[in-house]
Amino acid sequence: MLPLLRSEIFILTLVIGVYLAALWLFRKTKLSLLHPLLVSIPVLAIVIHLLHIPFGEFEKGSRIISFMLGPTVVVMGYLLYEQFEQLKANAISIITAVFVGCLTGILSVVFIARYFGADHALIASLEPKSVTTPIAMSIAERSGGIPSIAAVVVIVVGIFGGIVGPFILERLGIKSRIARGLALGSAAHGLGTARAMELGAVEGAVSGLAIGVMGIMTAILVPLIEIVLGK
């Protein structure tokens, strides 16, 4: 029985099954606290612990899901191509908005964390909170942070932004499709973009572009801000 539990097919089926069940629960209840990721992660953690499945085996069995991130990027590229004219016409606004958002996001984290007495390792782990997980982990590591903490923070920020973001934008009366896409993509990265794609093609394309621009700017600004403010 143990070899079966550690097989790639079983692990892949387990991950997909738990996520689909969580997705069904979310759509049935419409409760934000029951977001599929919020439910799937702890459930999977409990299951693999009870079944004594080593993390290495779990990671190996679910690697095809990580591989699918590649085709997903291609899909994002197609969306950008479809909306190229709109993006080109608003290029300056997009770059300016993402830059201001990136600078504000990093500085707010630094000052708030310092106010509460956080050490440099924790601050460096929090600084790249608004970019995708691989980029955030790399930035955090190079800045003296803890990549695993950065990954957790990024996921939490993404879930929160994907859930609360559209509601806040609606309450603020922001109707511009480009502005909505920029806000979700630059603040909540991949999960925000998934939500933006549900709102519309333009929102999804702009949000996808914001992810890439935000990643580049964060990688550049974090070291510069650390030099200016001092570690």
Domain count, the chain: 2
Q: pLDDT tens for residues 44-74?
A: 989 888 888 887 888 788 788 777 766 766 6
Closest CA to 187 of 98, 80, 113: 98
Whether residue 102 is found in the same domain as residue 198: yes
Higher pLDDT residue, 49 or 79?
49
Residue 131 DSSP class: S
Whether residue 129 is found in the same domain as residue 211: yes
Distance CA 30, CA 38 (A): 13
Q: pLDDT tens for residues 15-39?
A: 999 999 998 998 888 777 787 878 8
The string of DSSP letters for 29-76 reads: H--GGG-HHHHHHHHHHHHHHHTT--HHHHHHHTHHHHHTHHHHHHHH
Q: Can you tell me whether residue 216 is helix, strand or coil?
A: helix
* Domain ranges, residue 16: 2-67
pTM: 0.74
Q: pLDDT tens for residues 201-220?
A: 788 888 888 888 888 899 89
Whether residue 34 is found in the same domain as residue 134: no
